[in-house]
A and B are shown apart, each in its own frame.
Chain A
Amino acid sequence: MAKITLDNLAHSYLPNPKSEDDFALKEMNHDWQDGAAYALLGSSGCGKSTLLNIISGLLRPSQGRILFDGRDVTDAPTAERNIAQVFQFPVVYDTMTVRDNLAFPLRNRGRDESYVAERVQEIGRMIGMEHMLDRKARGLTADAKQKISLGRGMVRKDVNALLFDEPLTVIDPHMKWELRTQLKKLHADFGHTMIYVTHDQTEALTFADKVVVMYDGRVVQIGTPDELFEVPEHTFVGYFIGSPGMNVIPARVEGTTASIEGTELKLSRGYDALSGKVEIGIRPEFLHLSQSEGMPVTVRRVEDVGRHKIIRAELFGHDINIIADEDEHISADMNRVTFDAAQLNVYVNDWRVAGEAA
């Protein structure tokens, strides 16, 4: 197990990158703690798989260094880094039995057979496949195969990190829960450093201690699920996490007042003069429909999703979403909206500005 340090790291798939746009992964500096479970979250093509492959050593970064526990491993081949990786599509060796599959990484490293047998038995029990160790891997279901690849990753006790590249994509929904729970349990029991790549926010938020949100080749925020929900550092985080995502509305901000199309709104913090693209962001959970107070809105439709109601509305020509409690009565004359000022964030050029307590 190891602390992973990304030092000035950047990667481009082009041989001679010129501008920043040529980089699939923009320059980044991060320390990832030993023994924590991280989720790399982002939409397709944001560079999360690139980052994972750099960590596992399948890709050499075009710039910067990567360190495991302070040791530079930038040029170390995958095998030397001692990491395990589970891929999107289950990789099993078809012609081998389940037992041989699990033993493969150990045998390749020349461990003695009695140790291998004991370890394989243990892992077989852990992934719940003890009873089919002697079956051929060919012809098993996708989730059984994925369990085998997971087991192959866990079989070495000394791995520095366990990497998962969207491992549940091909798994049936009802099995996803089971496997994810199993992963969490394994993490709790053995404390491996785990990095889990996904574009599914539920998966990321339920699995990880810390979620790393990536957007356009950049890490935009690293935080606990709570932090990502309450203080999104970037509008993308606000938009990507939450269902529906954060409302982002262009506004003018001066001191402790924001104005949307001339209508003023009191803020809980004060801001210096802001230049650039200024927006305010507020989650649908912190907007409330009202008959008398707040800004005028036009309600377009109300969707009842069971746990709560989502109100699709229009505020000065901008689409916004409001979440109301399931038992809250929505009447036709509710055409105003109030803001929960404490939960409102201000963004300049998509990045959050902290402001000072007013």
Chain B
Amino acid sequence: MNKTVNQKAWFLVLPVLVLVAFSAVIPLMTVVNYSVQDTFGNNEFFWAGLEWFKEMLESDRMWNALGRQAVFSAVILAIEIPLGIFVALNMPKSGFWASVCLVLMSLPLLIPWNVVGTIWQIFGRVDIGLLGYTLDGMGISYNYTQDPLAAWLTIVVMDVWHWTSLVALLAYAGLKSIPDAYYQAAKIDQASRWKVFRYIELPKMMGVLMIAILLRFMDSFMIYTEPFVVTGGGPGNATTMLSIDLVKMALGQFDLGPAAAFSIMYFLVILLISWVFYTVMTNLDKRDGA
């Protein structure tokens, strides 16, 4: 077949280009612009080169926030992925109770972030919150506004409560796609429950699990609202995650230059890790398709 050559066809791409330019490219470039300049007010800018990047890379503040962020993401992945799989394995496969489970599991996912934060903020209060009051009554010292450990526990448990369903639902979808014959063959081969999981369920779930891990990683790495509502980043800086720190710097202190450099590095880190995930996932697909 002969291909028709018509350069006017480029115009068809134009709407998308315009849209992406306004929604992503231009805002990003504004940030890039701030990151390489300095200002003393009056809307006058001076070229600063890589000064801000150097400053940020040398500042403990950013490294600490990054460290906290990495620990937070690692902890919630380590809890939510196994827990989600466990929940999915124990959900009924069909019938009335399967629907009930699905609806109940979807509920936390439908609640807006700041509402979730508010719920847990009140829930954990020692004076009026059910959880805080009960723990206090049992003689356990729990106060998320003063104790860093309590603050961490609160936001981790909150995130697990909010997002484990997502992992569970994805894993459940993966499990449902396994034909019965696999389980029957396993019975005939006298495979133990663990081996069924290890050699049938886990390999078949791998694809959706990678998506679950990627989604949970990105979301948790960019978390802002919930810890902001519950702890405001405190006590001290104990729960100041990257984005909370960034907002403090950009809008609280109005340090546009450092904040812009910070943003760009933050963006690059997420991009890098997502790229790694994407590569691993496509390789998995390729192995399946071969």
Contact = CB atoms under 8 A, between A and B. Distances in A.
A96 interface: yes
Contact of B189 (A53, A138, A152): A152
A58 B183 CA distance: 10
A109 B190 contact: yes
Contact of A91 (B185, B287, B288): B185
Interface stretch (B62-70, B144-152, B192-200): B192-200
Contacts of A77: 187
Interface string B169-206: 00000000001011011011111100100011001000
A88 B179 CA distance: 11
B5 interface: no
B287 A79 contact: no
Contacts of A149: 185
A58 B189 contact: no
Contacts of B200: 93
Nearest to A93: B199
Interface centre among B188, B191, B200 (most CB of A within 10 A): B188
Nearest to B191: A108
Contacts of B288: 138-139
Interface in A89-105: 89, 91, 93-96, 104-105
Contacts of B179: 89, 91
B290 interface: yes
Contacts of B290: 138-139
Nearest to A87: B181
Nearest to A139: B290
Nearest to B185: A91
B206 to A, nearest CB: 9
Interface residues of B, number: 19
B287 A108 contact: no
A338 interface: no
A139 B287 contact: yes
A105 B189 contact: yes
Contacts of B199: 93, 95-96, 104
Nearest to B192: A108
Given A85-B184, A91-B182, A138-B288, A104 B191 contact: yes
Nearest to A104: B189
B190 A108 contact: yes
Contact of A87 (B184, B191, B287): B184
Contacts of B192: 108
Interface centre among A84, A95, A138 (most CB of B within 10 A): A95
Contacts of B189: 104-105, 108, 152
11 contacts: A53-B184, A85-B184, A89-B181, A91-B185, A94-B203, A96-B199, A108-B189, A108-B195, A138-B288, A139-B287, A139-B289
Interface of A: 53, 56, 58, 77-79, 83-85, 87-89, 91, 93-96, 104-105, 108-109, 138-139, 149, 152
Interface of B: 179, 181-182, 184-185, 187-192, 195, 199-200, 203, 287-290
